Amino acid sequence: MKIYLFLVLVFSLLTFSNSLDINGFYSKPREWQFITKFCFQENGGQIVMRFFNSFSKNTKLYLYSDRNPNYQRLLDDMHGNKYSCQEKVSWSNYSFSPFDIKDDQGPFDSHMQVKEVTQQRDRFWVIGIADCDSKSTSKYYAQYYFTLLNNGDKIDSVLSADQQSIPQSHMFFFLLYIILFVTSIVFTIILKRKGLEPKVVLFFSLVVFIHLASIILFLTNWANLIRHQTEIKLANLFGNCFNILGNCIFILLLLMVGQGYTTSIYYGSVIKKIVNVAVVSLIFVLSIIIYVCYIYKLPDYNNYVYFLDTISGYVCLSFYVIIIFYFIIGNLIAGSKQNDPLKKKFIKIFTFIFCVWLIAQPLVVLAAHFTEPWVKYKVITILNLVINSIFFIVFLVMFRPTQNNLVVKILQHDEKLGDNPLQIRDGYEFN
């Protein structure tokens, strides 16, 4: 079923991609109106004006480059009235009047026109519409319909340059996560048939499944954006929410395994369980609140933002640092209680490897902070996918149900001896 859904999404992405169409109405003269924000590639693109109609010959489109000294002020007042229509118009880099005016009698119409965009690097452009000098008090409207195109394949040509390569990456990692999910289920079955404890791998399969759901939602959004030129905001919203949930559940699993879940008789303290759930729940709730309240509700131009690289996100990030120390200290305490050298060795290896994953989270935020805006979203999205995939694979390797695996040796000895602390000769190797 999942493969079928994936093939449908791929078909939608590759077959129906035509262009990114922008259309709408302007009905409030003497007010500046935001239309869209788009990142053109370094090698340029096109603005194809398909239709423009207005009762006033002074209605124009205005373009603002991210190099404009007033660019940030424009973004901050995108839907506000802090700055007047005249001020915003005066800031524009280019104005575009599509009319071929032959007389002063309206309405005025314009049809197919193509404007080439050339630049030296990927650059964001804000497009707005305004008629600041109109004296009309009634019977005024303007209608626009134009297409934004980048150079590239059927997918990239209709996406803003900061989003390019993300749909293809999501398709690749969807297939990879399918493989990881199936592998985790197979490992669970093998462990169970051997009479060994499979709970950790089964728990891990839940983590992968949640991340799969996240990618499916993202792919649904991309397919609709490319096919119908509109974003499914709820798909993007819940895609990010599921991604946050998947990471938080993985953190909970790491805390549990590091403290001896299924491998130690010392795991099971009620206080430890409560603390584990509490810290993970806190970071999950805080992340969701920050994303939904401070990112998703912002204007359209700012939907694709790495939410941890914000002022409120830094608060959430501080809890990641606390979890890192809690993970290390909890594992050291759990390791000190072990009599079995195999278990001590496993806890040390496990702590070192997955401490790196935990540290990678704030490092990604640091990378995001110093990444140029026009590549930030795709770099961070792909970087997070790569990091998670690497450590998911490592996790499965560590819990693979092979005879020479350290975890299997621990489970086999515990099964034979009733899960009592063991005194075992040195000599076992982690392969």
User: DSSP letters of 2-51?
Assistant: HHHHHHHHHHHHHHS---EEEEEEE--TTS-EEEEEEEE-TT-EEEEEEE
d(CA 259, CA 241): 27
- In the predicted structure, residue 191 carries a pLDDT above the cut 70: yes
Rounded-to-integer distance, Cα 220 and Cα 403, Å:
42
Nearest to 58 by CA among 135, 172, 162: 135
**Diameter over CA atoms, the chain:** 98
pLDDT score of 242 = 93
What local confidence, expressed as pLDDT, does residue 175 receive?
A: 95
- Give the pLDDT mean for 175-201: 90
pLDDT the model gives residue 421: 40
53-79 pLDDT, tens digit each: 777 777 888 889 888 888 888 888 877
pLDDT tier, 9 (very low <50, low <70, confident <90, very high otherwise): very low
Residue-range domains of the chain with CATH: 20-152 (2.60.120), 166-416 (1.20.1070)
Q: How many other C-beta atoms can be found within 10 angstroms of the C-beta atom of residue 336?
A: 10
- Per-residue pLDDT, averaged over 236-264, amounts to 86
* Total residue count of the chain as it appears in this document: 431
Q: Which of 267, 198, 195 is nearest to 413 (CA)?
A: 195
Residue 49: pLDDT above 70?
Answer: yes
- Helices 233-258 and 270-291, axial angle in degrees (round to 10): 160
Q: 73-128 pLDDT, tens per residue?
A: 888 887 777 888 888 988 988 887 766 555 555 555 566 677 777 777 788 888 88
pLDDT tens digits for 298-351? 555 444 556 777 777 788 888 888 899 988 888 888 777 777 777 788 888 888
Q: What is the pLDDT of residue 13?
A: 41
- Please say if the pLDDT value at position 186 is more than 50: yes
> 91: which residues sit within 8 A by CB, 6+ positions away?
64, 68, 70, 73, 74
Q: Name the residue with tokens 């996790």.
A: 395
* Three-state DSSP state, 134: coil
Beta-strand pair 33-40/113-117: unpaired
Say yes or no to pLDDT of 213 above 90.
Answer: yes
pLDDT at 183: 95
pLDDT of amino acid 17: 35
Res 243: pLDDT: 92
CA distance 329 to 265: 18
Which pLDDT score is estimated for 44?
75
Residue indicated by tokens 């009620």 = 270
Going by the DSSP 8-state scheme, the letter that residue 158 receives in this structure is G
Q: Kindly state the average pLDDT of the residues 207-214.
A: 95
Residue 165: CA count within 13 A, CB half-sphere: 14
> Alpha carbon of 415 to those of 185, 193, 196, 411, 412: distances in Å?
21, 13, 7, 6, 5
pLDDT at res. 22: 78
Q: What is the DSSP string of 235-276?
A: HHHHHHHHHHHHHHHHHHHHHHHHTTTTT-TT---HHHHHHH
Rounded Cα distance, 122 and 63, in Å: 15
**pLDDT tier for residue 7 given thresholds of 50, 70 and 90:** very low
Q: What is the pLDDT of residue 133?
A: 77
Low-confidence winner among 124-128, 213-217, 286-290, 341-345 (lowest mean pLDDT): 341-345
β-strands 33-40, 94-96: how paired? Answer: unpaired
Q: What is the dihedral of CA 241, 242, 247, 251, to 10 degrees?
A: 100
Q: What is the dihedral of CA 248, 302, 170, 190, to 10 degrees?
A: 10
If you ran DSSP here, which 8-state letter would residue 359 be given?
H
Q: Residue 276 pLDDT > 70, yes or no?
A: yes
Bridge partners (DSSP) listed for residue 127? 36, 63
**What are the tens digits of pLDDT across the range 123-168?**
888 888 888 877 665 677 788 888 888 877 777 777 778 888 888 8
Strand segments (E) across 88-230: 94-96, 108-110, 113-117, 123-130, 142-150
Arithmetic mean of pLDDT, 36-51: 81
Pairing of strands 142-150, 20-26: antiparallel
Q: Do 357 and 387 contact (CB within 8 A), yes or no? A: yes
Query: Would you state the pLDDT for residue 281?
Result: 92
Identify the band that residue 428 occupies on the pLDDT scale cut at 50, 70 and 90: very low
Q: What is the chain's mean pLDDT, rounded?
A: 78
pLDDT digits (tens, 9 = 90+) for 383-422: 899 999 999 999 998 888 877 766 666 666 555 545 444 3
**Structure-token pair, residue 73:** 């002020």
Which comes out higher in pLDDT, residue 113 or 19? Answer: 113
Does this model's pTM top 0.85? My answer is no
| Count of Cβ atoms closer than 10 Å to residue 104 Cβ | 7
HSE, side-chain direction, 13 A CA sphere, residue 29: 17
